[in-house]
Structure 1
């Protein structure tokens, strides 16, 4: 499709991540709402081998934190982009640093795209998450102090009195009003396929299972009894893309300038999902045993060479274990002291009725990662 023939032009920031990748695929479908679409994508790194060039009309590599680089790369598109999809997050050691880095990135892009008084940009989509309701849980100091909202998490909940990158990004969007409309999409734990997402819990479990299988060690659940037995939810990357496109293209005025939770609509216990993972990765199920103490994080620290051997023997895309896994973040998730569940009522009330089966989602995205040659076929 020629770019000139496009009805809508999307700029996806974070094109190689789980959600950005699937969003590009969804926009390129012949019957995508708002289409036909021209799709441009940005990333900090070069295009990976598993990324299909057919997904984008242009792949742009640069550092969003650099305004001069942002202006150089994006200003030529400023008179074309109708929809900005913000699917990226730059992780730092503290929440204050997260706020500074991510706010700078988003501000740089918005400034460039709105430089012209006749900018065609009319909607911005922002991907965030349940840290909106839980506070800066990954901050080394603040993480132990926050008291999350009670679940199920609802969009109308007051902001917690702690620094939060998601608050800063939402406020930044509002500050540009009324130049464009916007929507915020708060995901839960994302199930998707990519080797470029900082927090890909499925790929983390895949690496863990494959290492256990290779070494003949048990695939033990590294979380708490509470999370083993209580409810949790997740967000399928395809469902996120579906909701984002709906919000960006709907003609329903009340659905504009809104924040929406986006989860699969079902819940699961980790006990149940662990059985699904064991089936998918062909490892023996081991029931949770509170007396079986082991330091998951410490054990995985020294498994880089084991992963290298798995990659080499199976002819996989070259990856480093520390780059594709998020053991520390997963450890936080698997030791939550609350049921991690979101309400989808607002989304349904405003007209979005999408859903996904979380167990089927796991199987789908693991198979996708196999097809992308990120993990072994069997």
Structure 2
């Protein structure tokens, strides 16, 4: 049975965000930088993932509104590539202006929630939008622990086939690395995350 994939890689709202790891990763990077620590990957075993940029999802919806092939159909939507967090980590670090370090497995929920005062210092130091840690990350830290496989055993991943969508005539794809870069840059441009750490 096919299902609609949840958009996960582009962030436009900034408060009470659910199931979006972007703000949580950005806050984690800023707090690590503020504490003089490297941007170490906090997760567990390596897994291969898929993402769906909301801009791509919007393009699919626009196409489906008028394409006869889409009438009364349900499609999986993903960017069209796969990624592993550790491979993406250096690109994320570059966009956020921080340096990576060796893996340091820990729960982002615990780590971030214990550092609300550090986040407040980051906001003041960089003249960011006056948003609390909770307003910025919502429940994204919980989703990050899941996405990063913190505390999880190794095992296979399931993927969403987009063959039906391609055969119906929608062929647009997006590179997930670009999707994440754009999402972080959007938060930097809106002064929700600092331009460097």
Structure 1 residue runs of 5 or longer lacking an equivalent are 1-153, 156-183
Instruction: Measure, in 2, the Cα distance between the counterparts of 1:249 and 1:192.
Output: 26
CA distance in 2, matches of 1:314, 1:293: 28
Separation in 2, partners of 1:319, 1:363: 22
For 1:373 and 1:322, locate their aligned partners in 2 and report how far apart those are by CA, in whole Å: 16
Structure in which a larger fraction of residues adopt helix: 2
The answer as to 2:168 corresponding to 1:350 is: yes
TM-score (norm 2): 0.85
| Gap runs ≥5 in structure 2 | none
Secondary structure at the aligned position of 2:101 is classed as coil
Say whether residues 1:302 and 2:122 are aligned partners: no
Q: Is the 8 A contact 1:191 1:234 kept in 2?
A: no
Shift of 1:323: 2.5
**What residue is the counterpart of 2:6 in the other structure?**
187
- Aligned counterpart for 1:226 among listed residues 34, 46, 56: 46
- 1:272 alignment counterpart: 87
Structure showing greater relative contact order (alpha-carbon pairs closer than 8 Å, 6 or more residues apart)? 2
1:258 corresponding residue in structure 2: 73
- Greater share of residues in strand: 1
CA contact (8 A) 2:79 2:173 kept: yes
State the Cα deviation string for residues 237-267 of structure 1 (Å, max 9, x = none): 21111111111232x1x41222211111011
1:226: how far off? 2.9
Q: Which structure has the greater CA radius of gyration?
A: 1
Residues matched between the structures, number: 189
Deviation, 1:188, is: 5.4
| Whole-Å separation in 1 of the counterparts to 2:191 and 2:88 | 24
Give 1:332's aligned residue: 146
The runs of at least 4 aligned residues of structure 1 exceeding 3 Å deviation read 292-296
Superposed, 1:1-378 pairs within 5 Å as 155=2, 185-187=4-6, 189-196=8-15, 197-227=17-47, 231-250=48-67, 252=68, 254-288=69-103, 293-325=105-137, 326-335=140-149, 337-378=155-196
- 1:232·1:267 contact (CA, 8 Å) conserved in 2? yes
Calculate the aligned-residue CA RMSD, in Å. 2.1
Label 1:200 to 1:296 Cα distance change in 2 as closer, same or farther (>3 A). Answer: closer
1:12-60 C-alpha deviation (Å, 9 max, x unpaired)? xxxxxxxxxxxxxxxxxxxxxxxxxxxxxxxxxxxxxxxxxxxxxxxxx
C-alpha change, 1:372 and 1:249, in structure 2 (3 Å) is farther
